[in-house]
Amino acid sequence: MNTYAFIPFVALAATSMSLLAQQPAWQPAPGHLTLPLWPGVAPGAPANPPAEVDTTTAKDNLIAGRPLVRLGNVSNPTLTVYSPKGKNTGAAVMVFPGGGYQILAIDLEGSEVCDWLNSAGITCVLVKYRVPNTGPYPKSPAALQDAQRALGMVRQHAAEWHVDPNRVGVLGFSAGAHLAAALSTHFEQRLYDSVDAADQLSCRPDFAVIVYPGYLALEDQGMAPNADIHPTAQTPPSFIVQAEDDPVHVENATVYFLQLKNAKVPAELHIYAQGGHGYGLRRTELPVTTWPQSVEIWLHTIKVLPVS
């Protein structure tokens, strides 16, 4: 072989491998706007963080017979806008995937949720917030900082994205459900120094959907309410769903519902006998997986969606 001809080949191969290594572990489908949450580094971000990675292994469980992406090492949080292709009701929902504040189930509890919301004429904003060890608040403020920042940005871009700034809600799963509840009860003051005009807008959600939450009832305290999540009359209307056999404990839903009731916050609670945890929107034979249809009915009830 010609040695000099081989050198460019090696260089090209090395460049290709380097570019491949720089590719994110997960990317939204083409055609969706993605924005960084922070114009520079996120507050308190570590220097030289590890690259994002799909942590899923062949031994991990399937959901409805299909695998999912468990995205780890998220240090550059983003929001991705999924706009309805048909009717647009003007409502918007920010989605927080779950994963114990360690990873993000970014497709199961993220992009697949946006597909459903779009089908109902709702703009979906998928928030890829920082993990790992970024919550629950106040153990770490990072995920809640990202959530506060994201909601301000949605309202800042509301006209551009054809969204009503007074009909912007949140929907979260598991740890993401805790994050939705945390944002619903921690919106009066930002947990970071103001960055730009987006931080001058309210970060109070107009409604919240809480799906199989964690961290809202404390197991080591006899399922007592989490004192760091304290609903008031200003907490937005909330929809809560969980299965009685959820290993994360159904008391997370029932305790939070009673807190909302005592604060005179309109709330709707759905408890199913079976379902476990982490099913997302993937349909199974169990009734719990019909929860998205119940959410749509509720959104009409609270007049976020037009009454039929």
Residue ranges per domain, the chain?
26-37+53-301
Element (H, E) at 270: strand 267-272
Cross-strand pairs, 131: 74
3-class DSSP state of 222: coil
Give this prediction's pTM. Answer: 0.92
Give the up-direction half-sphere exposure of residue 111: CA atoms within 13 A in the CB hemisphere: 14
User: What are 3-21's pLDDT values in tens digits?
Assistant: 444 444 444 444 444 444 4
Element (H, E) at 178: helix 175-185
User: What are 162-179's pLDDT values in tens digits?
Assistant: 999 999 999 999 999 999
Q: 299's torsion region: left (phi>0), alpha (psi -120 to 50) or beta?
A: alpha
Mean pLDDT of 121-127: 98
Cross-strand pairs, 164: none
Q: Which residues of 253-263 are buried (b: 16+ CB within 10 A; e: fewer)?
A: bbbbbebbeee
Which two tokens mark 16? 């290709």
**CATH H-level, domain 26-37+53-301: superfamily:** Alpha/Beta hydrolase fold, catalytic domain (3.40.50.1820)
